Chains A and B, each alone.
Chain A
Amino acid sequence: MTDITFAELSDRRRFGMLQYLVCLKGILVREGLRYLNQRERFISSLVRPLLWLFIFAAGFRQVLGVSIIPPYQTYVLYEVYITPGLCGMILLFSGMQSSLSMVYDREMGNMRTLLISPFPRWFLLVAKLLAGVAVSIIQVYVFLAIAWFWGVKAPVVGYALVLPALFLSGLMLGALGMLLSSAIKQLENFAGVMNFVIFPMYFASAALYPLWRVQESSPLLYTICRLNPFTYAVELIRFSFYGRIEWTSLAVVIAFMLVFMGAAIIAYDPARGLMLRKQETGGS
């Protein structure tokens, strides 16, 4: 795969596809290794949704009975309803975790190693995003395996069909995290992201309750939920489990993914983005 000499490498004016793949692989491997080295991160990423599944969902099963709504063709247990939302939760927290790790890398100087690579910056950022999404999808499948043994099951084929939905949703949320990381000046400011981004996104969505129930109790909250891209990520995942495509959700997720990714790439452009404004205020 790498039978190219240094002389050839320096003589070429542009990198070939092979070098792009080598670079992508390097970023994927590094992200995977970092993840393996941080076992607490792996455990906490699973504990959070499992607590919701085992305790919250079990406790609220009777209170929050769910009617027959698409894609479900019969009454389902609250645990079943909440599972796509918990998959979304893993992707959301993982996206923000990647954002946190980028802020940390920037403070510690590791980010510079990435940014001084001769590959185009958009490619480096997309590769980093893909690496983060790959790790978060593994987390989702481990969670689903545990849920399976707990008795929360989707159609077997649904576990394969949901993969593209997880991938797209992961990209959208990871890109949002990347955009936020460019705006966060210091690691300490990350608590604000938890309070002002992660929790509102999660709670004001279709993850925990069907939207018709939200609408009954608060039309304003319903409107907020409809404006929240996370709602569409959850619905995309939910329908995919049953082999169905929710086209509106798919369009919204792709659109927000492109917007967040484009904004993140601009934000990390040394000449145009938020990094520039940070420099102007004396940041590194």
Chain B
Amino acid sequence: MRNAERTELSKAMSPAAEEAAGGLPLELTAISYSYGARKALDDVTFSIEAGRFAVLLGLNGAGKTTLFSLISHLFATRAGRIRVFGHDINRKPGLALRRLGIVFQARTLDLDLSVRQNLSYHAALHGIGGRQASQRIDELMTSIDMADRLHDKARSLSGGQIRRVEIVRALLHRPSLLLLDEATVGLDIKSRATILADIRKLVDRDRISVLWATHLIDEVNAADQVVVLDRGRLVADGRVADIIAGTATETINQAFSKLTGITDIRSAGARP
């Protein structure tokens, strides 16, 4: 179905109907973005299907955070188009943002407030209050075994616990697409594994779509969709096996090295 036709249809449909009718969780078409003369994103086009775990892979400075800022409408798209379940983020930001759960790279909990106060605030920002918000907070915090920390100040939590609370916060309003920007950066191996497992469980159990931005290749699974960004350009998009085959390599590590031009994959993260 052509985009124009889909737009016309979506005007008369509920979000659920749009999704059923083919509005993809995320569609980026020819996205470019510059900071002054410096081009951060150059003609990036890709999409994510429902219930898919997609990894946005790129070194630091590849444009991942800029892309997240555009998808979450912190920045306005000036070239290209972003649609979330068929809703153009520039024209209908409210409808698009209601379907999104976002975890930013920077920690965004208010450290002076308790965990419950932080979560209640976020629920209110999505129009959810009172008993319903309270029940949802209890349910999610219990699911990550942190219900006993609800009344603690966010300041008293470890880095991994803060991140898990931020993920709970992003899930409070039951989003259909979860965006996580370098969610495991700065965490120990155990916390990284726990968080990644939690998110993969959400995809399997609840059919939530996930865009997981990272520069850590070991976070990629064979079944994932992988989108590789390099200096603002999209250099690969597909299943792991397709990318390996397309680059004539044997592993995703080698494929990533070849696509981004780095020689030592162990130092992947910052471009030399």
Contacts and interface: CB of A to CB of B under 8 A. Distances in A.
Interface in B92-147: 93-100, 102, 104, 106-110, 112-113, 117, 120-133
B113 A10 contact: no
A136 B108 CA distance: 25
Interface residues of A, number: 48
A149 interface: no
A118 B95 contact: yes
B72 A116 contact: yes
Contacts, number: 138
Interface stretch (A14-22, A172-180, A190-198, A202-210): A14-22
A113 B125 contact: yes
A4 B132 contact: yes
B16 A119 contact: no
A194 to B, nearest CB: 23
A250 interface: no
B124 A37 contact: no
Contacts of B248: none
A10 B113 CA distance: 28
Interface residues of B, number: 48
A3 to B, nearest CB: 8
Contact of B73 (A5, A110, A114, A270): A270
B94 A118 contact: yes
A6 B35 CA distance: 39
Interface string B42-56: 000000000000000
A10 B102 contact: no
B90 A271 contact: yes
Interface string B230-266: 0000000000000000000000000000000000000
B36 A30 contact: no
Contact of A119 (B14, B34, B110, B127): B127
A272 B34 CA distance: 15
A282 interface: yes
Nearest to A13: B95
A29 B121 contact: yes
A13 B131 CA distance: 23
A271 B76 contact: yes
B174 A10 contact: yes
B108 A112 contact: yes
A60 B104 CA distance: 54
A74 interface: no
Interface stretch (A61-69, A158-166, A273-281): A273-281
Contacts of B34: 280
Contact of B74 (A19, A27, A270, A272): A270
Interface in B28-82: 34-36, 38, 72-76, 78
B104 A34 contact: no
Interface string B141-161: 000000000000000000000
Contact of A30 (B121, B128, B133): B121
A221 interface: no
A109 interface: yes
B269 interface: no
Contacts of B133: 2
B112 A38 contact: yes
Contact of A113 (B93, B98, B122, B132): B122
A6 B131 CA distance: 13
Most buried by B among A2, A4, A20, A37: A2
Nearest to B174: A6
Given A10-B99, A13-B15, 18 more contacts: A4-B132, A6-B174, A9-B173, A22-B127, A26-B123, A26-B129, A30-B113, A108-B106, A109-B104, A109-B106, A112-B72, A112-B74, A112-B106, A115-B74, A116-B72, A269-B76, A276-B75, A276-B76
Interface of A: 1-6, 9-11, 13-15, 18-20, 22-23, 25-27, 29-30, 33-34, 37-38, 108-110, 112-120, 124, 269-272, 276, 279-282
Interface of B: 14-16, 34-36, 38, 72-76, 78, 90, 93-100, 102, 104, 106-110, 112-113, 117, 120-133, 173-174
